[in-house]
A and B are shown apart, each in its own frame.
Chain A
Amino acid sequence: MMPLPILGEKLLMLIPQRAPIVMVSSLESYDERGLVSTFLVSEGNMFVDGEKLVESGLLEHMAQSVALHTGYSYFLRGEHAPKGYIGSMQNVEIHGLPKIGETVFSTIQIIQEFMGVTLVEIETKLENSVIACARMKTVIAK
């Protein structure tokens, strides 16, 4: 087990994504049923338009947070992070978008894992206010 928080190069060991599409900055906490991740919005990020992260960037961050949970659970078993994709998104609500220099915190709660499909609920906060939530299914690629 790596000491938390995990960031930088160590974080990249836990997800299949690589620059310029890395949309998680740290793994703050983890257990079998969920995690807390962060993402610092930086200038030059491909999902930034003007000064703000666009909706698709926020959703990509949420999806990568799920991938991070999967990747860390694989790491704990001594396996490499698997590739996967978003199967579906439901009940998506976006109430706000972070600006460059701001950090969002996302909490992932695993509802169910079945036949390679992970059903999760995700809540993303900016300065303690919920700015987005969604229910998502992610699928591990075979």
Chain B
Amino acid sequence: MMDKASIYQKINEILVEEFEVDEKVISPEASLKESLDLDSLDYVDLVVIIESNFGVKLVETDFDGVITFQDFYNIVEQKMTVKN
């Protein structure tokens, strides 16, 4: 089972690759949407890469209240805990 640090690092790696951003824009307190320049079409890609890398499926309500990368890490981590 992955620990928190490994989950966060893996998420960062796949976000950098998928959304072609500099790793420096990613920090726990930064805005997920603004840092990755996400539009409404991008969220489906986000859901796909999280499912393919972590085996958990995000749904619309998971994004309620997700503003920062830390919020996003928490959601993925929570889902993984439930799965395991």
List residues of chain A with CB under 8 Å of any chain B CB.
Answer: 87-88, 111-119, 137, 139
B48 touches A137 (CB 8 A): no
Is B45 part of the contact surface with A, judged by Cβ < 8 Å? yes
Interface positions of B from 12 to 55, Cβ below 8 Å from A: 40-41, 43-45, 47-48, 51
Q: B37 CB to closest chain A CB, in angstroms?
A: 14
A139 to B44, CA, bound (A): 11
Number of A-B residue pairs having CB atoms within 8 Å of each other in the complex:
30
A137 touches B47 (CB 8 A): no
Is B3 part of the contact surface with A, judged by Cβ < 8 Å? no
B residues in contact with A113, CB < 8 Å:
44
Say what secondary structure dominates the interface of chain A: strand
B40 touches A117 (CB 8 A): yes
| A118 to chain B: closest residue by CB | B44
| B46 to chain A: closest residue by CB | A114
- Name the one of A111, A115, A116, A139 contacting B48, with C-beta atoms under 8 angstroms: A111
Q: B57 CB to closest chain A CB, in angstroms?
A: 9
Q: B36 CB to closest chain A CB, in angstroms?
A: 16
A115 to B38, CA, bound (A): 13
Besides A114-B43, A137-B41, 16 more A-B contacts (Cβ < 8 Å) are A87-B41, A88-B41, A112-B44, A112-B48, A114-B58, A115-B40, A115-B43, A115-B44, A115-B60, A116-B40, A117-B44, A119-B44, A119-B48, A137-B44, A139-B40, A139-B41
B residues in contact with A88, CB < 8 Å:
41
| B39 to chain A: closest residue by CB | A87
Q: B65 CB to closest chain A CB, in angstroms?
A: 15
27 A-B pairs, CB-CB below 8 angstroms? A88-B41, A111-B48, A112-B44, A112-B47, A112-B48, A112-B51, A113-B44, A114-B43, A114-B44, A114-B47, A114-B60, A115-B40, A115-B44, A115-B60, A116-B40, A117-B40, A117-B41, A117-B43, A117-B44, A118-B44, A119-B44, A119-B45, A119-B48, A137-B41, A137-B44, A139-B40, A139-B41
A137 to B41, CA, bound (A): 7
Of B41, B44, B60, the most chain A CB neighbours within 10 A belong to B44
